[in-house]
Amino acid sequence: MKTSTLFLLLCFSFFASTAQTKAPVKNYGIAIHGGAGTILKSDLSPELEKQYKAKLQEALDAGYAILEKNGTSLDAVEAAIKVMEDSRLFNAGSGSVFTSEGKNEMDAAIMDGKTLKAGAVAGVRTIKNPITAARCVMDKSPHVILSGSGADLFAKQCGCATADSSYFFTEKRWQQLLKAKEQEKLTPEKSDTLGSLSPQQNEFNDKKFGTVGAVALDRNGNLAAATSTGGMTNKKPGRIGDSPVIGAGTYANNKTCAVSCTGHGEFFIRHVVAFDISALMEYKNLTLAQATEEVVMHKLVKVKGEGGVIAIDSKGNISMPFNTPGMYRGFRKSDGKTAVLIYR
């Protein structure tokens, strides 16, 4: 073989291998929320505020650590959610609210923006980390959504950690149920309409929010979204909110963005909020900021649908609009930018 031919062959194999090994993207990052609602500085003691911020930071860091080590966005959002499910501060997993029957019924969903595969559980009662159960439905079943005792059973068979009702009992959530039941007696019409409430009605507002969520973009350019919740205090048994509804509370698509919602779930279902943000980007060429603003600050505000979203696009842009006084939230990006916030 001539030297020139050898040189050409070497050149070819070098370029071929470079082309095959897709360069990891520089921008990666994660955003999380711990629920939107009437969260006012005057209502939160400095100590409690510190606790919330520390736990949000811990969740962010758990997800970010995975992204940093070239892990997947799916693993990152699951890890972040688990930290919040294991904390009694949030209305998900161990800190879930009570139904009108005094039970805990939890919903969760996860979606892979690369494959559009998704998994969700609705109304599970015995699973410590509903987000892991949702991941099992996605990875190990032919289905997308499993509900009720069938979901509990399937998650258990998949090896998800279980707990009895005492694990999910918190005095704070129990008191919220009692308050909601009192409120219901005083103004029964309020509990029977789809109308929203004034921000002043804190007790009642309490009952709607506290969902946790995470969205991430990994170094390979793959998006993922995940959401977990105990639902609404005093909800009817079997009520399913927007969190486990793919397209409503949770959606991810590498073409556009990953979205996780929090708020008055019924409005988010009827307005297919998460997918609408993606559709506005794909079909109307809106930016992530424009699309989230349009849906959360215009469409939802118009119908008095209270809540917020966190979203990240395929370039690593993050947007976190909310139309309530506050939203527990945070983000951490590979460019070094990071923040943990609560109020406007």
Closest distance between a second copy and the C-beta of residue 116, in Å? Answer: 5
Closest distance between a second copy and the C-beta of residue 123, in Å? Answer: 6
Cβ of 329: how many Cβ atoms within 10 Å? Answer: 24
Taking alpha carbons only, the member of 72, 224, 98, 260 closest to residue 170 is 98
CB 338 within 8 A of CB 331: yes
Using rule CB under 8 A, residue 245 touches a second copy: yes
* Residues sharing a CB contact under 8 Å with residue 132, sequence separation 6 or more, in sequence order: 78, 82, 155, 160, 161
Single residue of 8, 11, 153, 301 touching a second copy by CB under 8 A: 153
d(CA 148, CA 82) in angstroms, rounded, equals: 21
Phi-psi region of 166 (alpha: psi -120 to 50; beta: other; left: phi over 0): alpha
Nearest to a second copy of 235, 333 (CB atom): 235
Distance in angstroms between the alpha carbons of the first and the last residue of the chain: 71
Q: Which of residues 269-298 bind a second copy (CB under 8 A)?
A: 269-272, 275-276, 279-280, 283-284
Task: Name the active-site residue from 132, 211, 256, 292.
Answer: 211
Using rule CB under 8 A, residue 147 touches a second copy: yes
Q: What is the CA radius of gyration of the chain?
A: 21
Chain-centroid distance of CA 173 in Å reads 21
Q: Which of residues 320-339 bind a second copy (CB under 8 A)?
A: none
Closest distance between a second copy and the C-beta of residue 317, in Å? Answer: 20
Closest distance between a second copy and the C-beta of residue 244, in Å? Answer: 9
Chain-centroid distance of CA 330 in Å reads 12
CB 319 within 8 A of CB 295: no
Give the interface segment with a second copy, choosing from 56-64, 73-81, 147-155, 214-222 (CB under 8 A). 147-155
Report the sign of the C-alpha dihedral through residues 152, 153, 159, 164, in that order: positive
Binding string, 5-44, against a second copy, x = CB under 8 A?
----------------------------------------
Q: Which of residues 189-208 bind a second copy (CB under 8 A)?
A: 191-194
Using rule CB under 8 A, residue 145 touches a second copy: yes
Respond yes or no: is residue 211 known to be catalytic: yes
How many chain residues bind a second copy (CB under 8 A)? 48
Backbone angles phi, psi at 232, to 5 degrees: -100, 135
Nearest to a second copy of 51, 147 (CB atom): 147
Closest distance between a second copy and the C-beta of residue 125, in Å? Answer: 11
4 burial via Cβ count (<10 Å: 0-12, 13-18, 19+)? exposed
Q: Which residues does the annotation mark as catalytic?
A: 211
Chain contacts with a second copy (rule: CB under 8 A) = 116-118, 122-123, 140-151, 153-154, 191-194, 235-241, 245-248, 251, 265-266, 269-272, 275-276, 279-280, 283-284, 303
